[in-house]
């Protein structure tokens, strides 16, 4: 099986061909939004940080922003900074250019003499970039070019017994075809980490998975906190999930059964093909943000309660097995797998249906969140001042 994508010089392939308008800090976000609104083919992200922060948070922010620009769904990027932020636009541009040969330009609002002058120059640059991007045509791409992120949010009882196992079947199919899949949200391995670790390809990976969960619980305990206070969430409980162990046992099923070949830190780019896990926060938008920065070119997102979330760079395919949720929130849901609950659809068949829909998305079909232009990001900061 193949898909039609945009081949990149580094050997990867995008399923979209965006011009990314990328702010370096919160002060550049509104200008980035206005620039993107003026150029067809351009997308922007809203960044609410980037200044007056501790070094660990700055490092994470830079890792995310760099990963966004290097994502294979991005043709090129126009960076907009203020001028007095922690990492100015020139430095971010140089860092990105050291990692990719994509077209990258940058502007500083203070350097250019204000918002209007900056927007004018950035719009011209983005327009020229979009014109060049429009000349690139989709080509046949091998499945090895697909890196699918796997996410769940707003889970209920149907997630763990229906939609997550179906996505797990999809993950296994993709890995068998040579693609890679990435599951994250390590807090939602807790209580089931021993089950997940059994899939490790090596003893070292097995121990990495277990240690991640141990460290996370120890970190919270040292701060006088307990992850079980926030997990499951109120919505999870209303949907029938009673404990974090129960939630985790359902969550890890979306990762399939194939051997786990690599464990990544947040926003880290994979070095291997196959089933991969990433150590991220349990907040779904933050988790998707890290996977997109790590290079995922598609996201499949299961939800029982329903969610509207989307990402500007990568299409987010929303899947539910709750018939009521699909009917009530059809504006947000892409795939209805409630037939699994009714006994009219098997997990295997559902997985193959998801594969067909995913290939359609890879070939250009818009997800609901994409059609709305949703752009949700959140960066998990290591240190916070309260």
Residue 386 has a CB neighbour count (10 Å cut-off) of: 2
pLDDT of residue 226: 73
Angle among Cα 361, 274, 76 to the nearest 5 degrees reads: 50
Q: Which residue has the tokens 């969140």?
A: 369
Res. 385: pLDDT tops 50: no
Contacts 24+ apart (CB under 8 A), 240-243: 240/156, 240/157, 241/155, 241/156, 241/157, 241/160, 243/191
pLDDT in tens, 315-349: 999 999 999 999 999 999 999 999 999 999 999 99
Give the β-pairing of 2-7 and 13-14: antiparallel
Report in angstroms the alpha-carbon separations of 341 from 95, 107, 155, 300, 346.
49, 53, 15, 20, 9
- Extract the tokens encoding 203: 């003893």
DSSP, collapsed to helix, strand or coil, labels residue 264 as strand
113: left (phi over 0), alpha (psi -120 to 50) or beta: left
pLDDT in tens, 277-306: 999 988 999 999 999 999 999 999 999 999
Task: Tell me what the mean pLDDT of segment 126-149 comes to.
Answer: 98
Res. 386: pLDDT tops 50: no
pLDDT of residue 185: 92
Return d(Cα 154, Cα 247) in angstroms, integer: 11
Burial 147-171 (b: 16+ CB within 10 A, else e): bbbbbbbbbbbbbbebbbbbbbbbb
Return d(Cα 374, Cα 184) in angstroms, integer: 21
Nearest to 307 by CA among 92, 153, 139, 82: 153
Return d(Cα 310, Cα 238) in angstroms, integer: 24
Burial class from Cβ neighbours inside 10 Å (0-12, 13-18, 19+) for residue 13 reads: buried
CA 102 to chain centre: 21
Task: Tell me what the mean pLDDT of segment 359-379 comes to.
Answer: 97
Which residues share a beta bridge with 104? 77
Which residues share a beta bridge with 19? 42, 76
- Single pTM value for the model: 0.95
Res. 245: pLDDT tops 90: no
Report in angstroms the alpha-carbon separations of 95 from 79, 141, 343.
12, 28, 52
Phi, psi (5° rounding) for residue 282? -90, 0
* Residue partners of 346: CB distance under 8 A and separation at least 6: 340
DSSP, collapsed to helix, strand or coil, labels residue 361 as helix
pLDDT in tens, 21-73: 999 999 999 999 999 999 999 999 999 989 988 999 999 999 999 999 999 99
């Amino acid at each position: 099986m193949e898909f039609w994508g945009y081949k990149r010089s580094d050997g990867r392939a995008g399923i979209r061909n965006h011009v990314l308008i990328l702010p370096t800090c919160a002060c550049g976000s509104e200008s980035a939004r206005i620039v993107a609104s003026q150029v067809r083919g351009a997308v922007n992200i809203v960044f609410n940080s980037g200044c007056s922060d501790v070094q660990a948070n700055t490092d994470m922010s830079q890792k995310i922003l760099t990963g966004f620009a290097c994502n294979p769904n991005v043709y090129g990027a126009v960076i907009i900074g203020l001028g007095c932020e922690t990492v100015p636009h020139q430095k971010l541009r140089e860092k990105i250019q050291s990692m990719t040969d994509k077209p990258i330009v940058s502007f500083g609002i203070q350097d250019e003499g204000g918002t209007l002058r900056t927007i004018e120059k950035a719009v011209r640059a983005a327009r020229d970039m979009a014109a060049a991007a429009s000349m690139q045509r989709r080509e046949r791409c091998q499945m090895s070019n697909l890196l699918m992120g796997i996410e769940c949010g707003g889970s209920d009882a149907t997630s763990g017994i229906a939609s997550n196992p179906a996505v797990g079947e999809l993950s296994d199919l993709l890995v068998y075809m040579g693609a890679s899949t990435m599951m994250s949200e390590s807090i939602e391995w807790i209580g089931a980490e021993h089950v997940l670790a059994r899939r490790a390809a090596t003893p070292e990976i097995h121990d990495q998975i277990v240690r991640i969960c141990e460290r996370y619980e120890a970190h919270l305990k040292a701060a006088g906190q307990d992850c079980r206070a926030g997990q499951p969430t109120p919505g999870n409980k209303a949907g029938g999930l009673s404990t974090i162990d129960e939630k985790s046992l359902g969550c890890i099923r979306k990762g399939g059964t194939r051997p786990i070949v690599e464990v990544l830190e947040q926003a880290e780019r994979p070095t291997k093909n196959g089933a991969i896990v990433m150590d991220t926060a349990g907040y779904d938008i933050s988790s998707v943000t890290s996977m997109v920065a790590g290079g995922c070119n598609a996201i499949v997102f299961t939800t029982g309660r329903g969610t509207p979330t989307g990402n500007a760079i990568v299409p987010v395919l929303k899947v539910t097995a709750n018939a009521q949720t699909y009917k009530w929130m059809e504006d947000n849901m892409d795939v209805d797998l409630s037939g699994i609950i009714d006994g009219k659809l098997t997990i295997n068949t559902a997985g193959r249906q998801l594969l067909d829909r995913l290939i359609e998305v890879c070939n250009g079909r818009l997800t609901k969140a994409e059609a709305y232009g949703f752009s949700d990001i959140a960066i998990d900061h290591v240190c916070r001042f309260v």
